[in-house]
Amino acid sequence: MTDNQPMTSGLFISFEGIDGAGKSTHIEGLAETFQQQGRRVTLTREPGGTPLAETLRGLVLNQAMDPLTEALLIFAARRDHLQQVIEPALARGDVVLCDRFTDATFAYQGGGRGFDLQVLQQLEQWVQLQDGKVRQPDLTIWFALDPAIAAQRLAGARVPDRFESQPVAFFEQVHAGYAARAEQAPQRFIPIDASQTRHQVWQQLTRALIQRGKLSIVVPIPKAFQTPSP
Ligand code: TMP
């Protein structure tokens, strides 16, 4: 890039949904698609994305703890991730594709665990403060799926962690937590019907991004789709 060329502005997209909603292939497919369209992509996840945050992820997913400890560790991981990875990537104009962000905390800890939403709001404001504003994704792709269908998809897939092993009733509350967040930020949330086939979900997703001017019209089926359907 020469000094005269305008710098592309960063784009922050998060991906949300209950466990089993089928985000992974689509996130990989979008990374591939943005790269084909000339964008530099930072692909990352929460909790995690830095060595420290990945260590905290291991604890949160596998070790019993009280709800406040869980929320604090998740936000500590987020702080490190924002400072080390997300903010620098956005500053250099990357597309940041983040598998889960703070909406997951409101859905899982707030909805699923019933943890105090005001405490989560306070933590969100402290941890995500950037240049006088609370950093949020520009867009959030919400893979919405009936928890009973998600449970069928997950059954026997792998050894479940502390969240995946929760009963369907927990995921109903998580789903309601996501719905409440979506209602509060309708411009940011893109709800996707994740009960459809993988190709139909991909079409919903890319159409929504094209409509918002974030992708150009031609969207080939990415290589990530060559693995068998779940
Ligand atoms: P993943 O398996 O999609 O990577 O997510 C890890 C688990 O962590 C998933 O079950 C959701 C949970 N989680 C929370 O409970 N709160 C959070 O804030 C985040 C980001 C994830």
Q: How far is the CA of 138 from the centre of ligand 1 (A)?
A: 20
Cα-based distances in Å from 89 to 8, 81, 144, 190, 204: 12, 11, 28, 23, 27
CB 153 within 8 A of CB 27: no
Tell whether the model's pLDDT for residue 32 goes beyond 60. Answer: yes
Tell whether the model's pLDDT for residue 229 goes beyond 80. Answer: no
pLDDT value, residue 228 = 61
Q: Which residue's entry shows tokens 């260590």? A: 55
Tell whether the model's pLDDT for residue 96 goes beyond 70. Answer: yes
Tell whether the model's pLDDT for residue 159 goes beyond 90. Answer: no
β-bridge pairing 11-16 and 95-99: parallel
pLDDT value, residue 33 = 94
| Ligand 1, atom nearest to 74 Cα | 18
Instruction: Give 83's pLDDT tier (boundaries 50, 70, 90).
Output: very high
Cα-based distances in Å from 196 to 4, 142, 199, 202, 215: 45, 14, 8, 10, 22
| Ligand 1, atom nearest to 162 Cα | 10
Tell whether the model's pLDDT for residue 156 goes beyond 90. Answer: no
Share of the chain above pLDDT 70, in %: 93
Within a 10 A sphere around the Cβ of 207, how many other Cβ atoms?
13
**Which residues is 191 bridged to in the sheet?**
142
Instruction: Give 27's pLDDT tier (boundaries 50, 70, 90).
Output: very high
| Ligand 1, atom nearest to 163 Cα | 10
Which of helix, strand or coil describes residue 92? coil
pLDDT value, residue 1 = 45
Q: Which residue's alpha carbon is nearest to atom 13 within ligand 1?
A: 104
Q: Which residue's alpha carbon is nearest to atom 19 within ligand 1?
A: 104
Q: How far is the CA of 162 from the centre of ligand 1 (A)?
A: 10
pTM above 0.85, yes or no: yes
- Stretch 198-225: mean pLDDT, rounded? 86
pLDDT value, residue 77 = 98
pLDDT value, residue 182 = 98
Cα-based distances in Å from 129 to 116, 136, 190: 20, 9, 24
pLDDT value, residue 223 = 75
- For the chain, first and last CA: distance in Å? 41
Lowest mean pLDDT among 6-10, 20-24, 134-138: 6-10
| Ligand 1, atom nearest to 47 Cα | 20
pLDDT value, residue 8 = 83
Task: List the one residue out of 181, 204, 197 whose CA is nearest residue 121.
Answer: 181
Q: How far is the CA of 86 from the centre of ligand 1 (A)?
A: 18
Task: List the one residue out of 113, 124, 147 whose CA is nearest residue 46.
Answer: 124
* CA gap 21, 5 in Å, rounded: 40
Residues lining ligand 1, Cβ inside 6 A: 19, 45-47, 61, 74, 99-100, 104-105, 108-109, 163-164
Instruction: Give tens-digit pLDDT for 104-144.
Output: 999 999 999 999 999 999 999 999 999 999 999 999 999 99
